[in-house]
Amino acid sequence: MFQDIELFIAIAEIAGVFVGFGALISLTRKNTIDFAQLGRLRGVVSVGLVVIVAALIPVGISLYGVTGHDLWLVCSIIFLFLVWAQIVLSLRKSEYRQLLTKQTLDSPLVSMFFWILLEAPIHISLVLAIIGIYPDLEPAFYTTALLFHLFEATFLLVQIVNYQMRPGTNPPDQEESHIIVH
């Protein structure tokens, strides 16, 4: 079994919190959320779910005695597949493709931040683990991909919160929240 099992379980737990927040926001704002925010909510939930699964894959596979490059090869291939499946599935609707194009044109710096500083490290790290040219760093590459995917969920959640905090985003009859936070 690999050494960082506790770290990976903790990452899965943190991602579970993001999934819960995304679900809670979607339930409390379901009648007042616009299409762009709905896309971000779906992103938080789907990215969080991918992080949970990707964090637990090495835990489960290592129980079968798979170690070293074989472990990180299989885990990285599955993780990369999940990331690409998430991207492809999110773009299957023309509305989301149009929204992504509009957001990219409206905020090119935010889009560059997302794709270059968040998405690229995920892919580069997983490809390096798959190739296996630095076998001692494969667990670090995988962990890097996990953390950057978790950062994506954080980025999307911050965008949702910032949008909700802007004046005029809440209809007058929905201004007061019916949720009491202690």
In the chain, domain spans? 5-163
Check residue 180 and give its pLDDT: 32
Across the chain, mean pLDDT equals 82
Give pTM, 2 decimals.
0.80
| The two structure tokens encoding residue 134 | 């630095």
pLDDT tens readout for residues 107-162? 888 778 878 888 999 999 999 999 999 999 999 999 999 999 999 988 888 877 77
pLDDT surpasses 80 at 59: yes
| The two structure tokens encoding residue 3 | 């050494």
Of residues 164 and 69, more confidently modeled: 69
**φ and ψ at residue 159, rounded to 5 degrees:** -60, -40
pLDDT tens readout for residues 165-175? 666 555 444 44
For residue 176, what pLDDT band results from cuts at 50, 70 and 90? very low
Please tell me the number of Cα atoms within 13 Å of 127 on its side-chain side. 7
Check residue 174 and give its pLDDT: 43
pLDDT surpasses 80 at 26: no
